[in-house]
């Protein structure tokens, strides 16, 4: 095989060592650092971005919680106010209804009393009137003996008297 021809061994080894040495040196000193740096920079940037995003998320979650708590408080407060208002209006309604009922009862009682009083008074008046009339008739009957004509006349007189008295 031509590969075992030792004529070229020395030059191959020599140039291999030189080439590889140069390659290693250039890569180590100049070629690899920028690539590695860029990669590290990118990694760092990505890591930082993720960290920042996580931090932001945490902050926004915290804020959301605060807002939710505030919202809940406000809702509770509104609920309280509403209940209070409802109670108050109910109380007012109840009071009004009570007052109206009392007033009505009072007026009704007064009216009843008035009616009763008037009725009694009327009855009294009728009784008095009737007694007077009876006395008057008796007086007339007793004072004379009367003919039929007289009777009629007397009766008419009495009625007239009553009528005139009534007119008065």
Partner 1 sequence: MQDPLHAFELHTIIPLSLFGLDISLNKATLVMWAVVALVVTFLFRAGSSRSLIPGKLQSLAEIMVDFIRGIINDTMGKDGMRYFPLICSLFLFILFSNLLGLIPGSYTVTSQLVVTAVFAIFVYALSWIIGLRIHGAKYLPGILIPPGTPGWLLPIMIPIELISHIARPISLSVRLFANMTAGHVILGVLFGLTITGGVLIGWLPFSFTIALYGLEFGIAFIQAYIFTVLTCVYIGDAIHLH
Which of 10/168 has CB closer to partner 1?
10
Token pair recorded at residue 24:
């290693």
DSSP states along 91-133? HHHHHHHHHHHHHHHHHHHHHHHHHHHHHHHHHHHHHHHHHHH
Pure H helices in the chain: 9-26, 32-143, 148-167
Tell me the closest approach of the beta carbon of residue 79 to partner 1, in angstroms.
Answer: 54
Min dist CB 13 to partner 1, Å, is 6
Min dist CB 42 to partner 1, Å, is: 5
- Least distance (Å) between residue 28 CB and partner 1: 4
Residue closer to partner 1 by CB (options 30, 144) is 30
Beta carbon nearer to partner 1, 15 or 67: 15
Instruction: Report the SS3 class of residue 4.
Output: helix
Which residues of the shown chain bind partner 1 in the complex (CB under 8 A)?
1-5, 7-17, 19-20, 22-24, 26-28, 30-39, 41-42, 45
Task: Say if CB 144 and CB 150 are below 8 A apart.
Answer: yes
Whole-number Å distance between alpha carbons of 167 and 161: 10
Q: Which is nearer to partner 1, 23 or 64 (CB)?
A: 23
DSSP reduced 3-state for 29: helix
């Amino acid at each position: 095989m031509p590969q075992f021809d030792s004529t070229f061994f020395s030059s191959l080894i020599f140039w291999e060592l030189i080439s590889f040495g140069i390659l290693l040196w250039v890569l180590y000193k100049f070629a690899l650092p920028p690539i590695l740096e860029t990669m590290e920079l990118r990694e760092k940037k990505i890591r930082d971005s993720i960290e920042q995003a996580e931090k932001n998320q945490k902050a926004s979650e915290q804020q959301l919680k605060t807002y939710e708590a505030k919202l809940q408080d406000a809702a509770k407060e509104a609920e309280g106010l509403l209940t209070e208002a409802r109670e108050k209006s109910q109380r007012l309604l109840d009071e009004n209804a009570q007052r109206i009922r009392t007033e009505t009862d009072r007026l009704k009682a007064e009216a009843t009393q008035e009616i009763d009083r008037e009725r009694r008074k009327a009855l009294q008046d009728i009784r008095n009137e009737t007694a007077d009339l009876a006395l008057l008739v008796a007086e007339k009957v007793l004072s004379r003996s009367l003919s039929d004509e007289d009777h009629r006349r007397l009766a008419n007189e009495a009625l007239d008297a009553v009528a005139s008295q009534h007119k008065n």
